[in-house]
Amino acid sequence: MPLLAVIMLVLTGCAQDPYLSALDPKGPVAAAQLSLIMLSLYIMIGVFAVVMIIYVYVLVKFRKRKGQTGIPEQVEGNHKLEIIWTVIPLILLAVLAVPTVSLTFDLAEKHNSEEALQVKVVAHQFWWEFEYPDLEISAGQDLYIPTGQKVQFQVTSKDVMHAFWVPALGGKIDTNPGMINNMWLHADKPGTYKGKCAELCGPSHALMDFKVVALEPAEFDKWVGNMKASATKPAPATASAQAGQDIFNQSCIGCHAVDATKGLMVPDIAPNLAGFADRTVLAGFVEHNDENLAQWIKNPQSLKPGNLMPGFEGKLNDQQISDLVEYMNTLTIE
Ligand code: HEC
Ligand SMILES: [Cu+2]
């Protein structure tokens, strides 16, 4: 009973955030995976109930009675029973195996560009890179996908093992360095679903979050156009944002692109900042405001331990940081 209570608590904990819950599927892959979970859960509950009923029955029926002396009759071996308790689990395993194997093969199927939008996922310590080879754009941190269409992911890693997981849509799959794994997902409705790294990968593993933004196809096409337009963005209007751009071009551009059409086919060193001003979180999880952005530029380690961005505290003065922040706020694609 205490164990069941703990399981219930844990499961309700998951369901509190509907966009981070495998129990509240938002697409056919997650729905099929949930039905497998439920099938095995029902089988387990059935087995548990039958075993418990037999257990209690035996306890009561063969208990020591008043006036009983000596040991009860001893029996050894029973062919009929042994066959029954071998065959029943075999049947249950078969009931589990058939849908599991068929779904596994279905999910492992690779869809080409005609059937599905292709997205290459590169996991980094501790952020995500998303490339759209057919659309010729690349995005950092936020994954945009169209609704009502399959999205075929090719996932890999730049450094250590991570795992790509979007509970409400399905998954997960390991991202391994030097190797490409395949998975597809499908979102039914527009919405923002949360994603996580699901493989312990270093000190900020738990902060390696990302967002999946599912848009209606027309909205998605608009987003693609806006991302492409980041290549020809006019210079910022205000003097301090211009000063910030100069600092950026000196200190930051070596790692960060601000143009979504750059850096295709090679893993980026740092997140592409095209559309950065539109992101509601910074570095995947910190609330995006000027104060936190300044803090991030000065000392990123204070927010996300072990991440690979150097701090600029002492190298840039407060004026320069505030110019940089002003410039970063112009990196919108909307
Ligand atoms: C040596 C490479 C390097 C340099 C130089 C660098 N960064 Fe970074 N930056 C990174 C890495 C790596 C990350 C990702 C950290 C993480 O989330 O794990 C990052 C993340 C960021 C983020 C968060 C991005 C997001 O999508 O939320 C911002 C903002 C940022 N850097 C701004 C700057 C600015 C401004 C400068 C120049 C003053 C700069 N960076 C210089 C490597 C670099
Ligand atoms: Cu990770």
Ligand 1 binding pocket mutation candidate from 196, 205, 255, 288 (most atoms within 8 A of CB): 255
pLDDT band for position 19 (cuts 50, 70, 90): confident
Q: Give a yes or no: residue 319 inside a domain.
A: yes
Q: Which two three-digit tokens encode residue 47? A: 């087995």
Q: Give a yes or no: residue 217 inside a domain.
A: no
Q: Give a yes or no: residue 218 inside a domain.
A: no
pLDDT digits (tens, 9 = 90+) for 171-228: 899 999 999 999 999 999 999 999 999 999 999 999 999 999 999 999 999 999 999 9
Ligand nearest to the CA of 267: 1
Q: Give a yes or no: residue 115 inside a domain.
A: no
**Cβ-based neighbours of 262, under 8 Å, separated by 6 or more:** 138, 231, 272
Domain region containing 274: 231-328
Q: Give a yes or no: residue 169 inside a domain.
A: no
Q: Give a yes or no: residue 46 inside a domain.
A: yes
User: How many A from CA of 107 to the centre of ligand 1?
Assistant: 35
Residue 13 has pLDDT above 60, yes or no: no
At 10 the pLDDT is 67
Q: Give a yes or no: residue 124 inside a domain.
A: no
Q: Give a yes or no: residue 236 inside a domain.
A: yes
Say which CATH number the domain at 266 has. 2.60.40.420
Distance (Å, whole) CA 32 – CA 45: 20
pLDDT digits (tens, 9 = 90+) for 63-111: 888 888 888 888 888 999 999 999 999 999 999 999 999 999 998 889 9
| Helix residue ranges per DSSP H, the chain | 2-15, 28-61, 79-108, 217-229, 239-251, 290-298, 318-328
Ligand 1 binding pocket mutation candidate from 309, 312, 313 (most atoms within 8 A of CB): 309
Distance (Å, whole) CA 105 – CA 127: 29
User: How many A from CA of 282 to the centre of ligand 2?
Assistant: 17
At 16 the pLDDT is 57
Q: Which residues line ligand 1 (CB under 6 A)?
A: 126-127, 140-141, 248, 251-252, 254-256, 269-271, 276, 279, 282-284, 296-297, 304, 307-310, 312, 324
pLDDT digits (tens, 9 = 90+) for 242-292: 999 999 999 999 999 999 998 776 778 999 999 999 999 999 999 999 999
Distance (Å, whole) CA 135 – CA 227: 10
Determine which residue's CA is closest to atom 41 belonging to ligand 1: 252
Whether the ω angle into residue 172 lies within 30 degrees of 0, i.e. cis, is yes
Determine which residue's CA is closest to atom 32 belonging to ligand 1: 297
Contact 29, 185 (CB under 8 A): yes
Structural domain count of the chain: 2
Ligand nearest to the CA of 303: 1
Q: Which two three-digit tokens encode residue 77? A: 């071996």
Domain-ending residue, one of 93, 108, 123: 108
pLDDT band for position 4 (cuts 50, 70, 90): confident
